[in-house]
Copies of this chain bind each other. A is one copy, B any other.
Amino acid sequence: MPPDNPNILFKRRVEDYFKNLQNVICTALETLDGKAKFSQDVWAHKESGGGKTRILQQGSIFEKAGVNFSAITSNLSPTLAARLGVDAQHIFATGISVILHPVSPMIPIAHMNIRYLELANGDGWFGGGADLTPCYLFDEDAKHFHQTLKYACDKFDPTFYPVFKQWCDEYFFIKHRGEARGIGGVFFDYLREDKEKTLLFVQELGNAFAHAYVPIAQQRKSEQWGQREKQWQFLRRGRYVEFNLVYDRGTLFGLETEGRAESILMSLPPEVHWRYNHQPEDGSREALLMKVLKQPRAWV
């Protein structure tokens, strides 16, 4: 790779940032957990590139936390090319994914992903976002999460947060259930313009994630919960699985480009229940959550 090719330099800079962010986030999460540590698997893609998958299991805060970095080059299948609206060709994809499944049903599930894709013809774009999936709703947590992301967005463009918040509500929607996956956050895709500015923006967002999530987990770890709340969490995790396997672009992209299945599917929760036609009791905290998931709110 000639160092004077500006395009190669850009994708390497993105990749380096994601690699470094993986370290930063893992450190923050280990500190928060206080008990378990991340273990790492380094893997190679069958075509070119690979990744580092880090998993923390059976912690005091996290039942399972995954932080995945990858940078691969793959041949786009015609199907996938059609879905991306481009010609079939080689594609470079680098990204970081964070998925947090806490032990306590009072601490929300969280997800963050930022990715950069670049075609052999030089066309490149960013996508990603961060969103929160509580099993029990605490308004102040939703506000804090959104406020932190909004702050990162506003530094770059006052239109980012409102546009990306709505995009998030639309994207993380489980169509067949008629409900949102969670209380949202931000989501964006195909950001092709002014890539230098966009890189600064995704860096801001990547750095903001731990600030958006850690205080919520610290605040909620002392909340009481029992069997009832844990059972509800198991059911809500079922919806998480449904979204990720039926709709999530990143998951389907990974599976279709024959990425490492264990790394792509690290997003799946450790224990999940499905109960036929379960309906929460009217007026319960569970029913309150469902109401909000069926009618997304403005949090800030």
Contact = CB atoms under 8 A, between A and B. Distances in A.
Contact of A241 (B176, B241, B266): B241
B261 A176 contact: yes
A271 B271 contact: yes
B262 A277 contact: yes
Contacts of A57: 276
**Residue of A177, A264, A275, A277 with highest tally of chain B CB at under 10 A:** A277
Given A64-B276, A270-B275, A176 B258 contact: yes
Contacts of A242: 245, 265
Interface in A232-270: 234, 238, 241-242, 245-246, 252, 255, 258, 261-262, 264-266, 268-270
A266 B64 CA distance: 26
Given A268-B274, A274-B270, A176 B255 contact: yes
This chain's copy number in the assembly:
2
A255 to B, nearest CB: 4
A195 interface: no
A265 B273 CA distance: 12
A32 interface: no
A208 to B, nearest CB: 27
Interface string A55-84: 101000000101000000000000000000
A66 B41 CA distance: 39
Nearest to A251: B246
A240 to B, nearest CB: 11
A41 B257 CA distance: 40
Given A245-B245, A255-B175, A238 B268 contact: yes
Contact of A270 (B176, B258, B264, B273): B273
Contacts of A255: 175-176, 246
A272 interface: yes
A28 to B, nearest CB: 20
Contacts of A274: 265, 268-270, 272
A274 B269 CA distance: 6
Contacts of A175: 255
Nearest to A244: B245
A232 to B, nearest CB: 14
A39 to B, nearest CB: 9
A224 to B, nearest CB: 24
B176 A264 contact: yes
Contacts of A252: 246
Contacts of A41: 277
Contacts of A264: 176
Contacts of A177: 261
Among all A-B residue pairs, the 3 with the closest Cβ atoms: A245-B245, A268-B274, A176-B255
5 contacts: A66-B276, A177-B261, A238-B268, A271-B272, A271-B273
